[in-house]
Chains A and B, each alone.
Chain A
């Protein structure tokens, strides 16, 4: 026999959000749709909200005409990049007890259309690095890499190579018009 499910109404959910008394917890466990609805109603308190005021086309035109492209020339802005992927985050298929974990690490970092591929290799007394910069998917040689006070220029192969005793917590890409910072790298 098919059991007819009774979903809690929106008003009941809103009351539950406001009072903190949720009388339909068991239903939420079973019903994904109501769980999502309840989550959204809890986060976005839009019930009874007035309509938002739209800007006039004249104002929008004015704001959109603020010369953003002049940022390229005015100063050297610092753009924060972020980590896209990290080989150390991937789960190894199997590991032998007592054997050191992966000695190499591959990072992909990104800021807008610029990507930095960074490979690091751990040795007994130092770390060795190889990196490549891409601009809109194509290898780019327009940047310099800065780690601490040390600048690395691109080699003829298009790669950057350097080594250091410790791995960097921050990598900077120095370009003609802007600097990109990748901060908070942990090793």
Chain B
């Protein structure tokens, strides 16, 4: 990649290596001496952040693959085993799952930055195209990774996305069969997706190398879009750009940690905590948030083939961007009209994303169609016309001139960002109010939980009471197959002693073991290592005994149930760390029975009316009445209290390491805040020489 070596190491042994393989010269010229424009702002650090995220995803992915089982019957169980039993497994999984979202956040910032500053223009066309290829590969990798937990969203996401290819004329169905390896999405699909999910990140690494190589040939673009002319316009990559990148990376990690340690399920779907069921599609199926704008475009077109074409076209149009926008001025700073249209385009993308999460009906479809038209118009009409007609502002003579003159104009761009954000915000709020009104008022009340918030912990006595309620009432019909008796003694749990837990295990229904020496299966008492017993031998038996509705396993029920929070509540939740939809819903349903359904509601036979249950007709009768369980600690055993206690117990069962997660999170956040501060001041000190 490089010509004759100009870098001469001092040490003899290093010289010997350098004469044969000039690797140090390569590193020195690419990452130390490499001249980088001196006016790069923090938006430019997202390249380094993306490199970091790719490394984070590969490392945590390799770790997860050590514990994951790619089999339709075992995948879901193995993920639960990872988050419950593997040392730091919960953290690895949270990093990897939230990391995918962070990767996309960073890549969208990176792409919009390129769009704003015209980084795709001559001579950087190939650099941009390589970036679009990386983005496509990321989407494929992210999609296949989302399938691996084999929950309901995994399964139905895989079904819907693979069916996109059936729209292709003539060969579509054959392609879908190839993707599935069967008559439908099943175990062969999961196996090949796992294989490809492991492969594609390394392909991404390869294209990233080309991307960086291309960037080193053309040099980086910069906020003025004026090429560096003299040495005054640039600074060496190390220490200047490296330190600035490190500040950006550290600050990004701080943001990332918020999700890893405090909001691990915020970016996911509750339905994915329900194991895949090929017989039932979730009522409201949505892809991961980073695909939503394209999902909205797909659904906007009322024709299968054209919808798919539009969706892929929306991404592929980016490949032609360098030629669609032929304006010689790169940066939108000097293109007043292009700048406004750019922000309008950002708003269009955000709104399309919001629409992608809404049901495809009524006003949403119309809005999606209008915005899809806007999306394509930006690339196919606005940019080509602007590049011919727009009167651009005068460019600075050089980067150095711009740096000297820039101190006065800083507030302006910030103000324009604020205006556009406010505009987009009000639009979305207005639209979401309509949506809320139609959704109806059956949201369970928000209860006070001891485990809520950044410092929340479980109330041991409450968990012990909750276990009693589960054991005496719920366990008659519901299994909890991921919870073992040994878990009852673990730190952060109900705090039972080993003797108590052993006694609970011994008095529970025996477990089938064997075969013994004579080849027969036998029953033996449960031990600490055994899971809670299941009341029915299999799902069919559970269904048969309960009027056709199998009582769900309760191990992760508080993570598998949720309700809509709506805009802007869901953004406020991000800051207040509200994530108790599951417990609120479970406690709500337990207490939401009404003897007489509202007028006009026809209750099917064998069902009961419940305010909070979707559809209101629940097969489970009301079980928690005042006094059905006797408490030993003097707590009043009202039905409300029983419901709250058992829900707290179920929350612990769904996330036994929650306390460890929040505790470690606080340490990590403090550490990263310190590191970011130190890096920032070091960066300032170093850059003081350059100004």
Co-assembled chains A and B: no
* B residues in contact (CB < 8 Å) with A: none
* A residues in contact (CB < 8 Å) with B: none
